[in-house]
Amino acid sequence: MILLAAPGISEAAQAKRKPTAAKAAAAEGHIVRAMALSQAGQPAQALAEAQAAVRANPRSAKALTTRGFILAEAGDKDGALTDFAAAKVLDPRDVRNYAAAALIYADRKDFPQALAAINALLEIEPANPLAQIMHVSLLQSSGDKAQAVQRAQAYAAMHPDSVPTAQVLAEAYTHNDQHDKAIEVVRATVAKSPDNAELQDDLAQRLLECKDKTVPCPAQRAEAVEVFGKAIALTPTADLYIDRAQARPLSDRDGKFADLNAALVLEPASQFAILARGATYFNYKELEKALVDVDAALAIDPTDVEALALRARIYDGQGKVDAQLQDLDALTALLPDNVQHLNNACWLRATHKRELDRALAQCNAALKIDASNRVTLDSRALVHLQMGNWDEALADYNAAMPQQSYAVALYGRGIAKLRKGMKKEGKADLTSAKKLDKGIAKTFAGYGITRKPKKK
């Protein structure tokens, strides 16, 4: 009787499938060097080492994962996903591959794939807090806000003492417009960690926004002042002082400026702090002091659009038309697609009858961006009125009042009709305008426009 060996894989084939200890060690060395080079900011050399690791041991999940990370950093996301998928086959419990794939899919806005990857990770490690946080974030990004809240609640129950998990729950509530619940969560977290300045700041910022509709805004802002004070006591920073100044009511002028000055003691060269104080002076109509600070802020950064816009408003309050126009023109150069700045420059020129061709160009540029903007149509109508383009003025005033009439447009349209010889219709518009605004004729006289044309 002859005994036959059971069929199986030959020793030679097994040798091919299982790398020798030397090859495994070589692959591990390449992996270590690849990671070191990647951290040192040498992606090309890192990728070369990762490729060598895979060649040395093609069945090393670790080598494939390492190469996947490096490819992802280099921008080859498809190559990275291929490596992560292959690594998952070899080592299905290495959660790094699922997390990395989820991040790539999320970056591509492919949320179904991203959620599938993170759900697979959570099947392996259901209590992984980082995966849970990512899961909630992906649900929010995918638009499933209700499910995001449910999962965040469940994860917070699993980790009742975890600050990051509590913060994720607060954000889930915020994304779902449940601001009262978000504040409740953050307040409870602060109570557990009263020495955490960042948590105090988070609570104060939420209160400052006054989005909790169950509590009056003044009460929320008053609490914000108190909480900012606790954060400042823990870690005094210029930003915290500025935030507390903003939270204080207008009646607390001294408190506001005490905080702003304290911020500038900490950071005397802070353009943001200087501008914040200038804006506060402006709010109190202290224009000269406001201008000093805004000029100082612009000396640090001449292209700061917020500072330029604020200075234009200061010049407006001071009646400095030339200076105001200069800043408005600077704003339109820095932000050529900003309808508001283009309109403001157009309107200022129109009301002072200056450079009307340039005013028309600025209004046209604004309307090219937003063709139905009623404010800009009204501004361009005034430009045409100043230029004597009665038909164009009439057309723009009509377009500016598709549903609701208002005094400025009615009066301007009435003037245009009178100039065209439409006396009855023009008088009717002027009468309607005066009913809405008794001083409208005086306003237009300030623009140099009267019911009867001035004799040249």
Query: Which of residues 453 and 399 earns the better pLDDT score?
Result: 399
Q: Does 7 score more than 50 pLDDT?
A: no
> What is the reported pLDDT for 20?
75
Across 6-10, 101-105, 404-408, 417-421, least confident range: 6-10
DSSP structure string for 414-433: HHHHHHTT-HHHHHHHHHHH
Q: Which of 337, 282, 283 is nearest to 305 (CA)?
A: 337
Q: Does 10 score more than 50 pLDDT?
A: no
**Averaged pLDDT score across all residues of the chain:** 94
Query: Which of residues 16 and 110 earns the better pLDDT score?
Result: 110
- Rounded CA gap, 167 and 156, in Å? 9
301: alpha, beta or left? (left if phi > 0; alpha if psi -120 to 50): beta
> What is the reported pLDDT for 21?
82
Q: Does 8 score more than 60 pLDDT?
A: no
For 25-84, the pLDDT digits (tens) are 888 999 999 999 999 999 999 999 999 999 999 999 999 999 999 999 999 999 999 999
In the chain, residues under CATH classification 1.25.40 are: 187-263, 367-455
Query: Which of residues 17 and 11 earns the better pLDDT score?
Result: 17
Query: Which of residues 37 and 18 earns the better pLDDT score?
Result: 37
Q: Which of 357, 356, 285, 297 is nearest to 327 (CA)?
A: 297
> What is the reported pLDDT for 456?
57
**Total Cβ atoms within 10 A of residue 351:** 20
> What is the reported pLDDT for 455?
64
- Rounded CA gap, 243 and 229, in Å? 10
Mean pLDDT of 345-358: 98
Q: How many residues does the chain have?
A: 456
- Rounded CA gap, 384 and 416, in Å? 9
For 311-336, the pLDDT digits (tens) are 999 999 999 999 999 999 999 999 99
Asked if residues 384 and 393 have their Cβ atoms less than 8 Å apart, the reply is yes
Residue percentage of the chain with pLDDT more than 70 = 95
Structure tokens at 317: 């309050």
**Range 402-408 contact pairs with CB under 8 angstroms and sequence separation of 24 or more:** 402/374, 405/432, 405/436, 406/436, 407/433, 407/434, 407/436, 407/437, 407/440, 408/378, 408/433, 408/437, 408/440, 408/443
- Rounded CA gap, 382 and 350, in Å? 6
Asked if residues 293 and 284 have their Cβ atoms less than 8 Å apart, the reply is no
- Rounded CA gap, 398 and 381, in Å? 9
> What is the reported pLDDT for 18?
54
Phi/psi of residue 112, nearest 5 degrees: -60, -45
Q: Does 6 score more than 90 pLDDT?
A: no
For 258-296, the pLDDT digits (tens) are 999 999 999 999 999 999 999 999 999 999 999 999 999
Asked if residues 124 and 159 have their Cβ atoms less than 8 Å apart, the reply is no
> What is the reported pLDDT for 19?
60
E strand or H helix at 88, and its extent? helix 77-90
Q: Does 402 score more than 90 pLDDT?
A: no
* Residue recorded with tokens 């609490």: 223
CATH 1.25.40 describes domain 367-455? yes
Query: What dotted CATH number matches 187-263?
Result: 1.25.40
| Residue 65, amino acid | T
Mean pLDDT of 217-228: 97
Q: Which of 367, 370, 369, 424 is nearest to 392 (CA)?
A: 367
> What is the reported pLDDT for 22?
82
Q: Which of 248, 250, 296 is nearest to 273 (CA)?
A: 296
Q: Which of 233, 252, 251, 249 is nearest to 241 (CA)?
A: 233
How far does the chain reach from its first CA to its final CA, in angstroms?
A: 132
For 97-150, the pLDDT digits (tens) are 999 999 999 999 999 999 999 999 999 999 999 999 999 999 999 999 999 999
For 172-188, the pLDDT digits (tens) are 999 999 999 999 999 99
- Torsion angle defined by CA atoms of residues 442, 444, 449 and 454, in that order, rounded to the nearest 10 degrees: 0
Structure tokens at 111: 């949320």
Q: Which of 305, 366, 302 is nearest to 335 (CA)?
A: 305
Q: Does 303 score more than 80 pLDDT?
A: yes
- Rounded CA gap, 200 and 202, in Å? 5
pTM for the predicted model, two decimal places: 0.81
Burial of 31 (0-12, 13-18, 19+ CB in 10 A): buried
Residue percentage of the chain with pLDDT more than 90 = 92
Q: Which of 438, 444, 398 is nearest to 420 (CA)?
A: 398
E strand or H helix at 136, and its extent? helix 129-142
| Residue 66, amino acid | T
Mean pLDDT of 201-216: 96
> What is the reported pLDDT for 393?
98
Query: Which of residues 8 and 297 earns the better pLDDT score?
Result: 297
Mean pLDDT of 206-234: 97
